[in-house]
Amino acid sequence: MSQKVQIYKNMTVGTKASGKFFVRAVYDKKFITTDELADFIQNQASVKRSDCKAVLDELGAAMKHYFELGQKIRIDNIGIFKVGVSSSPSDTLAACTAANVKNRRIVFSPETEAASTGKEYTIHRPAMVNGVPTVVEYKQTSYSHTPVMLKDVRFELAQGTMDDSAIEIEEQEEP
């Protein structure tokens, strides 16, 4: 299986990206339901479907409980969930209250796996050595962080989802 992607042309006027081509994910219009997740988990984990469904049904209530306590939630091999808010500004500390909160959202950070890019760079940091100001130099390797759930996902161009100009570009680039 692979994630379908499509090529699109950025038509935003006045930006560096204007007129450039990019790749974006293509999604099915159908959402996967709790029942479908329970069926999949049952087949993968030798657990009864009804047990899977019960756990998935209670997951939302459990997450809400811990969010109300101000906790972040880490689910192994998936990632971290936390509450994020945006607020309107106040001119004084006294005027800034919980009533300033305008939007609430759930922030998700996928669990990632670090992999070396093979690139090294040198860092120079000021430090005190025996009371003498100096600059310490050390080498560090660059890493990229790939979401664990996407580590082995392949990408392929979806058929019939690109505009005509993107299809022409794709055909010109083929050897």
pLDDT of residue 164: 44
Q: What tokens were used for 121?
A: 């760079």
Q: What distance in Å separates the CA atoms of residue 125 and residue 61, rounded to the nearest whole number?
A: 47
pLDDT of residue 155: 76
Which residues contact residue 145 at a Cβ distance below 8 angstroms, ignoring those fewer than 6 apart? Answer: 112, 113, 114, 115
**Phi and psi, residue 40, nearest 5°:** -65, -45
Task: Judge if pTM exceeds 0.75.
Answer: no
pLDDT of residue 173: 39
pLDDT of residue 13: 86
pLDDT of residue 95: 92
pLDDT tens track, the chain, 175 positions:
678 888 888 888 888 988 898 888 888 888 899 999 999 999 999 899 999 999 999 999 999 999 999 999 999 888 899 999 999 999 999 999 999 999 999 999 988 887 777 788 788 888 888 888 888 887 877 777 777 777 777 777 776 545 444 433 333 333 3
Give, as one character, the DSSP assignment of residue 91.
S
